[in-house]
Amino acid sequence: KWAVMCLLLRSGFHLMVVLLELPEMHQMMRQTCRDYADRELGPIAGKLDKEHLFPAQQVRELGAMGVMAVEVPEALGGAGMDYLAYSLAVEEISRGCGSTGCVVSVNNSLYIGPILKFGTQKQKEQWITPFTTGEKVGCFALSEPGNGSDAGAASTLARQEGEEWVLNGTKAWITNSWDASATVIFATTDKSLKHKGISAFLVPMPHPGLSLGKKEDKLGIRATSTANLILEDCRIPLGNMLGSRGSGFKIAMQTLDSGRIGIASQALGIAQAALDCAADYAHKRTAFGAPIGKLQAVQFKLADMAVAVESARLLTWKAAMLKDAKKPFTKEAAMAKLAASEAATFCGHQSIQVLGGMGYVTDMPAERHYRDARITEIYEGTSEIQRLVIAGQLLKEYAS
Amino acid sequence: YIVTIRVKPDHSGVVTDGVKHSMNPFCEIAVEEAVKLKEKKFIKEVVAVSCGPTQVTETIRTALAMGCDRGIHVEVSGKDYEAMGPLQIAKIFAALAKKEEASLVILGKQAIDDDCNQTGQMTAALLDWPQGTFASEVTIDGEKVKVVREIDGGLETIKISMPAVLTADLRLNTPRYATLPNIMKAKKKKIANMKPADLGVDMVSRVEVLRVDEPPTRLAGVKVETVDDLVAKLKANGTI
C-alpha cells in the first residue's frame, strides 16, 4: 500500500490526511517507468557503467515517453504532469540505472526547471521544446573550481559588449557536459553586489568560446559525463539572459530546491535497487543449513534498509506534493534529499554486507549501487548544506 | 513475469491473493496491433475488453494508455471468477462483438497463467467468423485480412474475410510503453461496466478442477559413458 500525505495548511494549524493509495494515473505512470527500467535499463546498466557509455538511445526512448520533460506543459512538448509524477518517474528509472536516472533528473529539474520558471515564452519555445524529446539534453553550470557549496562567490564573469554578453571563467563538475546541447550557466554581472550580482544565461553547446575539460573518471554514475566548462570570451546575444539581471543566485537556489526532490528520487531508486538485491540474495543464499534470510543479523539489516528507504520516500513525496500545491517546500526538499541520499549510501553499504564476497565483485549489481549512491550525498547541495538549510528553516519557525 | 507461484493448501488452485496481476503479454501484443491498425487508419475505434473482478479496470486503463479509445469491464468475481474458463469468456466476447458490431476481435493467443489457447478459437466458432490464430503478421486488404501464422511446420499465410477473430503470437510486434501524455489522456476515456447476465451469458462451467499439484521435483540425473550405455539404461527403465 502506498501512503500519500496531503498537507492542508489552515492559519498555522497543520492537518494531515493520509490516503491509502497513489492516484491511479500516478500508479500507471510509475508502472510504465518501472516496466521500462526493468526491461530496457536493468539489463544494460552494468555495461553502461563499465564502459562509461551515455545511454543515448534510452534517453530518446524516455523522451518519447515524456519522461525527459515530465512537468513541461503539453503545449511545449512535455508530459504536463506534476512533480509527484516526476519524482516517481526518476525513482523508477534510477532503480534500473542510476546514471540514466541522473540524466533524467538533470534535464528535468536543473536545465528545463529554471527556464520553465523564469524564461520568456520565446525562450521556453527555443530552449525547452527541443529538449523534451530526448534528442537533446541540457546541463546546469553553477559550481566552479573555487566554489561549490559557496555558490555566492561565482568568479565566472559576464560583461556586456554592445548587443552581446561576453562570458569568461570556468565551471566545474558539470553533469551531462559532454552530451548536452545547451546549458543554464551562472556568471557575475556586478561584482560589487556580491551574490545579488549574479545572473543566469542560456548558452548553446557547442558554441565558440565554450570548450569542455576532460571527462572526470568518477566512482559512480559513470554513464554520465562530468567535466569543466571553460568560457573564453564566449559571446551570446543579450536575449540569452534568463530572468532579470542580478537574479541569478535566486534562480539557482530555487532551481536547486526543486532539483533536490529529483536527486532524492534518484537516491531512492538506487537505495531500492540495493535493497531488492539484498533481499533477493537473502532468500537464495544458504549458509548454516538455511537461507541467510532466516538469520536475525541479516533480517535486522533488511529491516533497517526498508525503514530508511520508506521514510525517505514519504519525505520526498511530501516535498513534491507541497511543491505541486504551490506551498513552501524548501525545508521538506532538503530533508528529503538528506534522508534519501543517506538511505542510498546506507543501503548500498548494507547490501554489499548481506552479499558478502559476492557483493564485492561486479557479477552482482550491489557494488555498482554502492558506488552510484555516493554522489547523491554530494551534488545539488552536500548533506552538510542540507542540514544548514533545514536548521535555517527550523530556527525561523521557532523565532516567532 | 517472474513470480513464485504457490499451490493453495487445499490443492484447489494457485494462490492469487497479493500476487501482482498485469496484462497478459500476448494480449499486450494484441492491443499494440489494434492500435497500430487504427494509426494506419484501417479501423476507426479500438475497444479494450476484460472480464474479471474490479482490479481488472487497471489493466483496461493500461490498454487505454496504449491507445485504445474506450473500455468495457465485464464484472465477474468470486466463485464465478474462479470457475471462469475460455468457454465463458468466449461467450462474453462473442456477445460483445455482435453488440458492438465489431469488424475484428484481436486477442492474445493464450494466457500465460493457464496456457489454454482456446478463447480465440471458441469465440470465432460461436460467432461463426473466420479465425487467424498465432498471427505473426496482419495486413488488411479491403474487406479481407491477410494473416501469416506461426505453425509447427513453419509459416502459413491465409486470407480471411472480415469480420474475423485474430490471435496474436510473440513476433507480431513489440508493444509500446504507455507514454506519460497518453496515461493522462486515458484518464478521460470511458470504461463501461456490465455483467455477463446483461449479455445473456450463463457462466456455469462444464469443467470442474479436481486437483492442482506442483510439478514433481526434478530428480538428479545419471551420467553414462557411452551411447550404448545410454540406450541400455533407457530400455531398462521402460522409456524406449
Judge whether B116 and B224 are in contact, CB under 8 Å. Answer: no
* Buried residues in A113-144 as b, exposed as e (16+ CB within 10 A): bbbbebbeeebbebbbbebbbbebbbbbbbbb
CB contact under 8 A, B65 and A28: yes
Q: How far apart are CA B181 and CA A29, in angstroms?
A: 10
Q: Is the pLDDT of residue A5 over 60?
A: no
All 3 cell numbers of residue A57? 538511445
Predicted local confidence at residue B79, as pLDDT: 87
Question: Residues B138-151: pLDDT tens digits?
Answer: 999 999 999 999 99
Predicted local confidence at residue A147, as pLDDT: 86
pLDDT, mean of residues B108-125: 95
Query: What share of chain A has pLDDT > 90, as a percent?
Result: 90
3-state DSSP call for residue A101? helix
pLDDT, mean of residues B44-51: 97
CB contact under 8 A, A70 and B180: yes
Amino acid found at A354 = V
pLDDT, mean of residues A232-251: 97
* Buried residues in B54-69 as b, exposed as e (16+ CB within 10 A): eebbbbbbbbbbbbbb
Q: Is the pLDDT of residue A167 over 50?
A: yes
* Active-site amino acid positions of A: 380
Q: How far apart are CA B51 and CA A334, in angstroms?
A: 46
- Which residues of chain A approach chain B closer than 8 Å at the C-beta? 24-25, 27-29, 31-32, 35-36, 61, 64-67, 70, 74, 79-81, 85, 89
Q: How confident is the model at residue A153 (pLDDT cuts 50, 70, 90)?
A: confident
pLDDT, mean of residues A291-295: 97
Return the residue of B nearest to A1 by Cα. Answer: B18
If you count them, how many residues does chain A have? 400
pLDDT, mean of residues A243-270: 96
CA diameter of chain A: 79
Residues of A in Cβ contact (< 8 Å) with B183: 25, 28-29, 32
Return the residue of A nearest to B60 by Cα. Answer: A28
Q: How far apart are CA A154 and CA A157, in angstroms?
A: 8
CB contact under 8 A, B177 and A85: no
CB contact under 8 A, B177 and A66: no
Least Cα distance to A368 among A265, A145, A155, A218 occurs for A218
**Mean pLDDT of all residues belonging to chain A:** 93
Q: Is the pLDDT of residue A264 over 70?
A: yes
Q: Is the pLDDT of residue A89 over 70?
A: yes
Q: How confident is the model at residue B2 (pLDDT cuts 50, 70, 90)?
A: low
CB contact under 8 A, B184 and A79: yes
Backbone angles phi, psi at A170, to 5 degrees: -130, 135
* Long-range contacts (CB closer than 8 Å, 24 or more residues apart) made by A189-195: A189/A157, A189/A158, A189/A159, A189/A160, A189/A245, A189/A246, A189/A248, A190/A245, A190/A246, A191/A157, A193/A246, A194/A152, A195/A151, A195/A152, A195/A153, A195/A154, A195/A249
CB contact under 8 A, B61 and A24: yes
Question: Residues A45-75: pLDDT tens digits?
Answer: 999 999 999 999 999 999 999 999 999 999 9
pLDDT, mean of residues A370-381: 96
Chosen for mutation from B66, B177, B182 (greatest number of chain A CBs closer than 10 Å) is B177
Among the partner residues A25, A31, A65, nearest to B184 by beta-carbon distance: A25
Where are the alpha helices (H) located in chain B, listed in sequence order?
Answer: 25-39, 56-66, 78-83, 86-100, 119-127, 180-186, 227-236
